[in-house]
Amino acid sequence: MLDITNMTVEAARKVARGCEYCHGEGLATIFHRLYDGAPYVSRPAADGTPRRWVTRTTAYCVCEAGRVIAMNHQKHSPDAFAKMKDLAEIVDDLANGREQPWSPDDPTDTHDPTASWSKLRAQMVRTPPVQAVKPTATEQHMKKRDDDEQPLW
């Protein structure tokens, strides 16, 4: 296993250049299960007001570059870290049969995604997981409020 603890983002990107999910940039594109080619879907919020929901976004990749970026955000920008999705968690859920609205696989593509989940899961073993920072009481309250208002996620 490669130690990424003291690695710079630039060094991690060089090592991860061959990553098929982010191409060494550290951020992978993920798709919501409602993705139909449009970047947004319109659905009502919990209170019935119309709202646009994003259906394609980025997540920290499972490669070295993604792990280093996630560690840097965790240390220096906890707000960004809390908002960003993690491909390692998404793939772990998918590989273990847990409900997950996000996937690295484009739902408009016709191939079987199970093979890529297994490949991603094998790649995840190479890098240490990023430890989450415990959210503050305010962040927990905001997340609960957001969860109540976002029925798609």
98-138 pLDDT tens trace: 888 998 888 887 766 555 555 555 555 444 555 555 556 66
Query: Does some domain include residue 67?
Result: yes
Lowest mean pLDDT among 41-45, 49-53, 146-150: 146-150
Check: CB of residue 107 under 8 Å from CB of residue 94.
Answer: no
CA angle 141, 143, 149 (to 5 degrees): 105
Domain that holds residue 69: 9-149
Q: How many CB atoms lie within 10 A of CB 26?
A: 24
Query: Does some domain include residue 1?
Result: no
Whether this model's pTM surpasses 0.75: no
Number of domains within the chain: 1
Query: Does some domain include residue 102?
Result: yes
